[in-house]
Amino acid sequence: MLGEDDSDIQTLKVLIRQLVGDEQLPIRGKGFDGCGKLLKDGWKFLKTLPELGCTRFIIAHDADQRDTNKVKRELIDKIIKPSGVKTSICLLLVPVQEIEAWLLADIEAVSNIFKGWRPKPELNPESIVHAKEHLEKLGRLAGGRPRYLPATHNPQLAKHIDLTKVSKRCPSFRPLEEFVKQGKSNY
């Protein structure tokens, strides 16, 4: 699995293991410290994974207000084609807007990590342009100190969210669900 940063990879590992129902499922992955490095060097990492026994691949890249199809085309051209890996065994995962929108789909789950924090549910989490910043803003304590830190809390929060809610409220989550459960790619 390839992603923009390690936090996304760790969060996706939790979600995939929940979807499969196996907390010990081995998953290899690498975060690239930003989309630029992912697009530049991701193909090199992807190319090595089949040699390590990996058989299916996920490349995650937030939409960040861009057209999903353009993001997918860029992932194909800059990562999959140069790697030589077959597109049929790859999932191009493009959360709308950011992966944090999926966490906002069941924002009530934060009370499992932060006692006393009971934010109201978001009506349409994928419509929030900067979901990560929105979560940070919701999590500020009195005095402006942050309670929510994405790199630390996203994987923890992912353990508690209801994936049925996420699937229902975030259409961009469904390709991950289908790929993990049925092996279906998104092209």
Could you read off the pLDDT tens digit of each residue along the chain, which spans 187 residues?
Answer: 999 999 999 999 999 999 999 999 999 999 999 999 999 999 999 999 999 999 999 999 999 889 999 999 999 999 999 999 999 999 999 998 899 999 999 988 888 888 777 788 877 999 998 999 988 888 876 567 778 888 889 999 999 999 999 999 999 999 999 999 887 666 5
pLDDT at 147: 82
Q: Is residue 8 part of a domain?
A: yes
pLDDT at 113: 85
User: 137: domain range?
Assistant: 100-164
Count of domains observed in the chain:
2
> Do 156 and 104 lie in a common domain?
yes
Phi, psi (5° rounding) for residue 92? -95, 110
> Do 65 and 152 lie in a common domain?
no
pLDDT at 142: 59
Q: Is residue 72 part of a domain?
A: yes
Tell me, what DSSP letter sits at residue 21? Answer: T
Q: Is residue 36 part of a domain?
A: yes
Q: Is residue 187 part of a domain?
A: no
DSSP 120-187: PPPS-GGG-TTHHHHHHHHTBPTTS-BS--HHHHHHHHHHHS-HHHHHHH-GGGHHHHHHHHH-----
Q: Is residue 58 part of a domain?
A: yes
- Taking residue 24's Cβ as centre, other Cβ atoms within 10 Å add up to 6
pLDDT at 187: 57
pLDDT at 121: 82
> Do 44 and 133 lie in a common domain?
no
